[in-house]
Amino acid sequence: MLPNEKFIGLGEKTGGLNRRGSGYSHWNADVPGYILSADPLYSTIPFYIGIHDTLVYGVFLDNSSKTHFNFGASQERFSSFATENGDMNYFLIYHSSIASIISSYTWLTGRMPMPPLWSLGFQQCRWSYYPQSEVLTLAQTFRDKNIPCDVIWFDIHYMERYKVFTWDTDRFPDPKGMLTKMDQLGFKNVVIIDPGIKVEKDYPAYEDGLQKNHFIKYPDGTVYSGQVWPGWCTFTDYTSPQARIWWGDLFKEHVDEGIDGFWCDMNEFATWGQKAPNNLQFAGDGYPITHKMAHNIYGLQMARATYDGAKKLLNGRRPFVLTRAGYSGLQRYTAIWTGDNVGSDDHMLLAVRMVSALGVSGVAFAGADVSGFVTDATPELYARWMSMAAFSPFYRSHKAYGLRDSEPWSYGEDIEQIVRKYVQLRYRMLPYLYSSFYTATQTGMPVQRTLAIDYPMDEKIYYGEYENEFMSGPALLVAACRSTARAANVYLPKGNWYDFNTDKKYAGNTQFYSDAALDKLPVFVKEGSFIPMQSLIQTTVQKPTDTLVLHVYYSSIDNQFTYYEDAGDRYDYQSGGYYKRMMSIRPGSKQIILDKTEGSYASHFRHIKMILHGFDPLMNEVTVNGSSTKIAMQNIELMQQMKLPVVHLQNRNEQITIGW
């Protein structure tokens, strides 16, 4: 290793942004309440990026057995990687930028499809909401309190004795009727699904899977069983194409009832008090393998089978799948969350680094259980985590059985007001977030981005006090800070920045303390940014007004942004059914240019309200395609009320050029 060499990536790993000085292993594991140094965890992504003083490179070790990475943990002179079984099959990716390395890596392992728009909304979960009357009361309370929410999740207590593809009819006597009411309230519904199928006579999933030979076996052909929630269970061999199709078809009844998404849990795969033997036999897609090679890809293949099955059953609607375990390439089928975390400030900041590392590793749709899963959170921690996670890709609150209620109104009126403010901001920012997801589908660039992507040679971003800062999309720098902090130590990289809360301008390459009141998360906007927003909605089923609110931040250098829109729930976008527009700022020629639109989809927005930040305050008019247009000074409510210049435009499909 060179003296100043750094390493980032490896997906879902604990530790700092820079992996130097640490060693890691990959063997997917169920680690509830994991400590801050735990390794390995739930998923395997054997890909990292090395950063020299003058170059960057990527290494992908494509081996699904147990692997090891050592970045100078045992010997400061060397970094190394090793595999316990299989071929030493690795790819060296060299480019001039980290963004290009991520693009090549995701070209190799696959990129995510456009997710359903509703999956970008806020999502409420706990272990577990029941009976069905409580679920309906929960949904109605969100609407009554004007707190946007799109999804309610069903954990294991919805099942009959924890058996997958069943309902507990005592707790949920009319699932279809309940789900119809949820749909009327504008909610989507996601159920948990585990890989373990209970060994039980006359249980259809077990009897059919056994008869069709779809379960994992020992070398002598005996079906393997392990103990999990329902008791002794068999496990589907998802490395068999026939078993994947069979598994996917099992979701038909849930889809017919009105379930919209599926949550793959326990798919490392977890068994209680025992280790699955290494000699278990798997189909290996026609190339038989043992558990040694199948273990780390098991979760990926379960997510794949679930995604493919749901896609087939949803009549053209986009599926949503969330997984706990996975392997490189999981982004093709599923989002991921960081498992059973803890309600603490340290875990909140660790979650930031883990989601950023997953993004570098090709997984753009990732998140953590907001406020921590296995322990209670303080009211202050809940508020801080909810405000910070509003800028993350996957936004779900989840809490374990037996802990205190953890809904936005559970911590008192002051906390409720803070949380409402940031959840509402999330919904106003959906055009910006959705456009950022589109970029991920095209280039692999993550939605949540470590600063190392754009500023790899800046030493300060690796410092402990700054490594938790991240970019939400291309424009917003979020300075994550502890719930107890009321001032945050912030570092802004090169360039100019604007305080998202106050509009104050800062020069880059600077450190300072920013106001971090509990209701004011430090967020900064990169110069030259475009942030499209919409009017407030309570659910993505509801349509905003027909005016796109476009915030444009002055820059001394050229910059551009790709705005993207489609119907949000189907695959028409793959055959041209989208609306795309390149937006650019060119200070040299004093122009903002909205290019001619692409695609056959008609934008929902007929008007554009362009709000100018950082421009000459004495400017009272601009030109729009050569014609003089007056600027209106208006009170704008962003994070607080500010008086800013506004230009009103018709959202025409041809190029629009604004000169100043």
Q: How many residues does the chain have?
A: 660
- Top pLDDT among 75 and 123 is at 123
Percent of the chain's residues with pLDDT above 70: 100
Decide if 305 is inside a domain: yes
The DSSP element (H or E) to which 440 belongs, if any, is helix 430-443
Is the confidence at residue 564, as pLDDT, over 90? yes
Domain harbouring 593, CATH code: 2.60.40.1180
Show the tokens assigned to 322: 């969330």
Give CA–CA dist 162/478, Å, rounded.
40
Residue 323: which domain range? 120-193+249-265+297-442
Give the CA angle between residues 159, 163, 166 to the nearest 5°: 50
What's the pLDDT at 465? 97
Last residue of a domain, one of 422, 442, 462: 442
Is the confidence at residue 545, as pLDDT, over 90? yes
Q: How many other β-carbons are positioned within 10 Å of the β-carbon of residue 555?
A: 17
Residue 105 vs residues 93, 300, 308, 359: alpha-carbon distances, Å: 8, 17, 23, 12
Parallel/antiparallel/unpaired status of strands 326-327 and 43-44: parallel
Is 592 in a helix, a strand, or coil?
strand
Q: Is residue 345 flagged as an active site residue? A: no
Average model confidence (pLDDT) across the chain: 98
What's the pLDDT at 80? 97
Average pLDDT over residues 9-25: 98
Give the pLDDT band (50/70/90) at residue 413.
very high
Give the pLDDT band (50/70/90) at residue 507.
very high
What's the pLDDT at 274? 87
Give the position of tokens 């392997």. Answer: 327
Give CA–CA dist 226/245, Å, rounded.
23
Give the pLDDT band (50/70/90) at residue 75.
confident
Average pLDDT over residues 543-558: 98
Query: Which pLDDT tens digit goes with each residue over 166-207?
Result: 999 999 999 999 999 999 999 999 999 999 999 999 999 999
Last residue of a domain, one of 398, 421, 442: 442
Domain harbouring 383, CATH code: 3.20.20.80
HEC secondary structure over 630-648: ECEEEEEECCCEEEEEEEE
Q: Is residue 340 flagged as an active site residue? A: yes
Is the confidence at residue 521, as pLDDT, over 90? yes
Give CA–CA dist 128/402, Å, rounded.
9
Query: Which pLDDT tens digit goes with each residue over 273-297?
Result: 889 999 999 999 999 999 999 999 9
Residue 287 vs residues 8, 219, 284, 297: alpha-carbon distances, Å: 33, 15, 5, 14
Average pLDDT over residues 75-87: 94
Last residue of a domain, one of 410, 442, 474: 442
Decide if 25 is inside a domain: no
The interaxial angle of helices 345-360 and 379-389, nearest 10 deg, is 20
Query: Which pLDDT tens digit goes with each residue over 441-484?
Result: 999 999 999 999 999 999 999 999 999 999 999 999 999 999 99
Is 564 in a helix, a strand, or coil?
strand
Average pLDDT over residues 121-136: 98
Number of domains in the chain: 2
Query: In what order do the strands lie in the sheet containing 56-61?
Result: 6-9, 47-51, 56-61, 90-95
Query: In what order do the strands lie in the sheet containing 79-83?
Result: 23-26, 67-71, 79-83
What's the pLDDT at 459? 97
Give the CA angle between residues 203, 207, 211 to the nearest 5°: 175
Give CA–CA dist 528/378, Å, rounded.
38
Hey, which residues does 450 pair with through a beta bridge? 470
| DSSP assignment of 89-134 | -EEEEEESSHHHHHHHHHHHH--PPPPPGGGGS-EE--TT--SHHH
What's the pLDDT at 97? 98
Give the CA angle between residues 489, 341, 417 to the nearest 5°: 60
Give CA–CA dist 596/364, Å, rounded.
28
Q: Is residue 376 flagged as an active site residue? A: no
Give CA–CA dist 28/294, Å, rounded.
11
Given a contact cutoff of 8 angstroms between Cβ atoms, the answer to whether 259 and 179 are in contact is yes
What's the pLDDT at 273? 83
Give the pLDDT band (50/70/90) at residue 74.
confident
Decide if 488 is inside a domain: no
Hey, which residues does 564 pair with through a beta bridge? 580
Give the position of tokens 């603490």. Answer: 344
Q: Which of 340, 345, 467, 569 is catalytic?
A: 340
Decide if 168 is inside a domain: yes
Average pLDDT over residues 35-51: 98
| DSSP assignment of 454-483 | T-TT-GGGGSTTTTTEEEETTTEEEE---T
Show the tokens assigned to 425: 């901001």
Decide if 182 is inside a domain: yes
| Window from 228-232, 595-599, 636-640 with minimum mean pLDDT | 636-640
Q: What is the dihedral of CA 50, 52, 56, 61, to 10 degrees?
A: -20
Q: Which of 265, 503, 566, 569 is catalytic?
A: 265
Decide if 419 is inside a domain: yes
Decide if 217 is inside a domain: no
Give CA–CA dist 461/456, Å, rounded.
8
| Window from 273-277, 320-324, 359-363 with minimum mean pLDDT | 273-277
Given a contact cutoff of 8 angstroms between Cβ atoms, the answer to whether 437 and 121 are in contact is no
Hey, which residues does 634 pair with through a beta bridge? 644
Decide if 477 is inside a domain: no
Give the pLDDT band (50/70/90) at residue 490.
very high
Is the confidence at residue 76, as pLDDT, over 90? no
